Amino acid sequence: MSTSEKPHILVTAPWYQAAMDELPNFFTVHRLDTASDPDALLADVREKIVGLAGSHDMKINGALMDKLPNLKVVSNFGVGYDNVDVEAATAHGLKVGNTPDVLNDCVADLALGLVLATCRKIPQADRYVRDGKWESVGNMAFTTRVHHRKVGILGLGRIGQEIADRCAGFKMEIGYHTRSKRDVPYTYYPSLLEMAQDVEILIAIVPGGAATKHIINREILDALGPQGVLINVARGSVVDEQALIEALRDGRLGAAGLDVFEAEPKVPQALRDMPDRTVLQPHQASATHDTRMAMGRMVIDNLRAAIDERPMPSQVN
C-alpha cells in the first residue's frame, strides 16, 4: 500500500447513512453487505483490509477475522457489541470499539416514553379518538398513573442511570438490580426476583448475550404480577418472549412496552394482536438523527485511532 493510499476498511453491515457517507473521506471503503459475491470480494481485498465497520445486523466472528490477515480493528455501531466475537478478536490481537454514551439520553427518553405510553395507554387513546369512539361511546376507560409508582431498573450502567434520573423527575420510587451495589440513592436488590416482586414497573437495560439470555422469564413475569408493567429497551434476548406472550395473554402480567424483540424485525403476531396490553416500537430507542450521527462518527474515530495506533475513544477489550 502506498503512503498516499487511504487505509482499506470493510463494511459488514449498514448503519446511519449520513455518517457512512463520510467514510470515503478517510478510508478506501469496501462493502461486504452489498457485494454480489461476498466470497470473491473477501478473496480480492483480504490482504488490504485493516478495519471492519459493522452493526448488529451481521455477526463478526473468528471465521471472518481469519480471512483478513492484516486486520487491526473492529468498530461496531452501537453500545451493544454482542454481534462481535470479542474473545476471538482478542485472540487475533484486534481492538474492538463500540459507541457508548452518545446515545444514553435518547434511549432513556424512549424508555420513559414507553412507560408513559404503556401505563397511560397513549397509543390506545389515540386510536380511540381516531375511531370516533369518544363521540359514539363516551369517555375511554381510566388508565394508571406513572408518578410515585415503584420502578425497578435491571442494569444501572450509563443508560440505566439516565433512566433513573428521569424516573426521579416523575417522583417514582426507584430500585435497581445489578451484579454489585452502586453508590446511588436508590434501593438495591441483590436478586432480580426480589425486585420484580416489590416493584410495579420493571425496565430492562442490560447488555445482550449468553449471560443475560431470558433473564426475564416466567418466574420474573409472574413476580411482577397482573398489574405489573415490563419495559424492554435492552435486547430482545433478555426476555423469554414466549413466556411474555403467555403472561400477557393469561392476564398474569399487566402490560409491556417493547422496543426490542428476539427475532427482530420479526415481531410475534401474538404481541401485535394484544394492542390493549402492548406498546411496540421498531428498535428505535437511539434512532434520532443527532444521536445516530454521533454514533457513526465514533465508529469512524475508533477506526482511525486504532489504525494509527492511537488510543481509541471507546475500546471494549
* Catalytic residue flag (residue 264): yes
Catalytic residue among 235, 277, 292, 304: 235
Reported as half-sphere exposure (CB side, CA atoms, 13 A), residue 35 has a value of: 18
Residues counted in the chain? 317
Residue 179 is placed in which grid cell?
451484579
Rounded distance between C-alpha atoms, residue 154 and residue 306, angstroms: 33
* Catalytic residue flag (residue 283): yes
CA geometry: angle 9, 14, 20, nearest 5 deg:
60
Catalytic residue among 166, 194, 264, 297: 264
Rounded distance between C-alpha atoms, residue 118 and residue 208, angstroms: 23
Under 8 Å CB-to-CB from 22, ≥6 apart: which residues? 296, 297, 300
Rounded distance between C-alpha atoms, residue 185 and residue 175, angstroms: 9
- The 10 Å CB-count burial string (b at 16+, else e) for 144-177 is eebeebebbbbbbbebbbbbbebbeebebbbbbb
Rounded distance between C-alpha atoms, residue 306 and residue 73, angstroms: 6
**CB–CB of 252/221 below 8 Å?**
yes
| Alpha-helix residue ranges (DSSP H) falling in the chain | 17-20, 38-45, 62-66, 86-91, 104-119, 122-130, 133-136, 158-169, 192-198, 218-224, 241-250, 269-272, 289-307
Residue 304 is placed in which grid cell?
482511525
Strand partners, 275: none
Catalytic residue among 46, 214, 249, 283: 283
* Catalytic residue flag (residue 130): no
Question: Which residues are identified as catalytic?
Answer: 235, 264, 283
